[in-house]
Amino acid sequence: MSENNSVNHDELVEDNSQLIPQHIAIIMDGNGRWAQQRGRKRVVGHKAGVESVRSTVTKARQIGVKALTLFAFSSENWLRPEAEVTVLMDLFMFVLTREVKRLHKNNIKFQVIGDLSRFSEKLQMKIAAGQKLTENNSSMVLSVAANYGGRWDIANAAKELARKVQQNECTLEDINENTLSQHICLADLPELDLLIRTGGDFRISNFLLWQAAYAELYFTETLWPDFNEQELKKALSVFGQRERRFGLTGDQVKST
């Protein structure tokens, strides 16, 4: 995907609120390669990526994005070298300790989606405390996907519906796309509008499979630690030029 265009990013993002996606998700890829390119250990890249998280959250809130979802740790990431996983868990704990108060100060609701049972009790308690502190905030919802997989999400929703059928809380005939969607993670947030992946790969890696059904996809070769405010504006200006048809023809969209 080409990122070069003559559009004034500031005008697109700041002067036309209709072009602002209500819900953005980001696969934050490239931390390890960023560090390796500099002759450093991969963990250095993960730490550098924290600053990109901070700046992206800040800018998204400023321009009126209602929900931002970040892919921090997939269910497949447990297969990485044990030392790297340990560092990632420690970094997660550190960021939670330091950043949640900042989120709360800026009226941002924080939540974690995924199977948290595999995390340490200490980390689970830290997540719960952060969610409790910010639960009534309303300027934006920051969701962090940790030990998350899109297939797990769908299977978990199906399991919950099966439990409800078993307990006569609903019938088999009640199950459709709408009822399943109500049990998928992020069901209470706006529909996903824009899915960004940094790092140069062209896949969504089992992230928000259900939610991304009609999302616009944006891929950039920029590594996550280099993803700054200008890079976000590039993604938003491309989004603003897309024709979102949702299964209709272009002529139908233009006539509505």
For residue 15, indicate whether it is catalytic. Answer: no
CA-CA distance, 60 to 188, in Å (whole number)?
A: 19
Active-site residue, selected from the candidate residues 29, 31, 147, 193: 29
pLDDT at 254: 57
- Tell which residue, 200, 160, 199, 163, has the closest CA to residue 182: 160
What's the rounded mean pLDDT across residues 219-248? 88
94 part of a folded domain: no
What's the rounded mean pLDDT across residues 102-114? 97
42 part of a folded domain: yes
The number of folded domains in the chain is 1
pLDDT-derived band at 138 (thresholds 50, 70, 90) equals very high
Question: At 148, is the secondary structure helix, strand, or coil?
Answer: strand
Tokens read off for 167: 């307990």
pLDDT at 94: 85
Active-site residue, selected from the candidate residues 5, 77, 107, 176: 77
Write the pLDDT tens digit of every residue in 3-12: 444 344 444 4
35 part of a folded domain: yes
Q: From the centroid of its chain, how far is CA 161?
A: 25
CA 77 → CA 98, 136, 214, distances in Å? 24, 31, 26
Does residue 224 contact residue 34 with C-beta atoms inside 8 Å?
yes
For residue 153, indicate whether it is catalytic. Answer: no
119 part of a folded domain: no
pLDDT above 60 (res 253) = no
Write the pLDDT tens digit of every residue in 199-214: 999 999 999 999 999 9
66 part of a folded domain: yes
Write the pLDDT tens digit of every residue in 141-178: 999 999 999 999 999 999 999 999 999 999 999 999 99
CA-CA distance, 36 to 255, in Å (whole number)?
A: 51
123 part of a folded domain: no
DSSP string, 47-74: HHHHHHHHHHHHHHHHHT-SEEEEEEEE
pLDDT at 247: 55
Question: Which pTM value belongs to this model?
Answer: 0.88
123-127, 164-168, 245-249: the lowest-pLDDT one:
245-249
116 part of a folded domain: no
Write the pLDDT tens digit of every residue in 60-80: 999 999 999 999 989 888 888
Q: Which range marks the domain in which residue 44 is found?
A: 23-77+142-238
**CATH code of residue 195:** 3.40.1180.10
Write the pLDDT tens digit of every residue in 11-28: 444 444 458 999 999 999
What's the rounded mean pLDDT across residues 219-247? 90
86 part of a folded domain: no
CA 100 → CA 96, 125, 135, 140, 188, distances in Å? 6, 13, 11, 13, 21
